[in-house]
Homo-oligomer: A and B are copies of this chain.
Amino acid sequence: MTPNLVAGLEPPYYTAVFTSVRPDDPEGFAETDARMLEIVSGLPGFLGAEGARTPGGIGITVAYFRDLASLDAWRDHAEHQAAKRRGREQWYESYSVHIGKVERSYGFERG
């Protein structure tokens, strides 16, 4: 199955870029990760997310939001905050978050 990209977004919108270093399959991670996707998918203003991870390398997740209010609602969600605490305590060696306002985007799809 060919994976699908998030496409067709109309600027302006926001990207939350999350880059991280962690072990390959830490205990409890996959369940929490799935739960976080479930929660964020139900929030107003959430437009989609994509993730990639090179085995033994870094992981990058990009989440797309309509506006800062929806992005902040996700940042402040209680279960998300608990997951972030656990992430810092147990899973991640390091991570960075970059919140960007997108005014320009384009895409390509094979015809």
Q: Which residues of A contact B (CB under 8 A)?
A: 2-7, 9, 14-15, 17, 19-21, 50-60, 62, 64, 88, 92-110
Contact = CB atoms under 8 A, between A and B. Distances in A.
A64 B60 CA distance: 14
Given A17-B17, A19-B62, A52-B53, A97 B103 contact: no
A14 B100 CA distance: 7
A77 B29 CA distance: 41
**Count of this chain's copies in the oligomeric assembly:** 2
Contacts of A7: 94, 96
B100 A102 contact: yes
A23 to B, nearest CB: 10
Residue among A4, A20, A62 with the highest chain B CB neighbour number at 10 A:
A62
Contacts of A58: 3, 5, 50-52
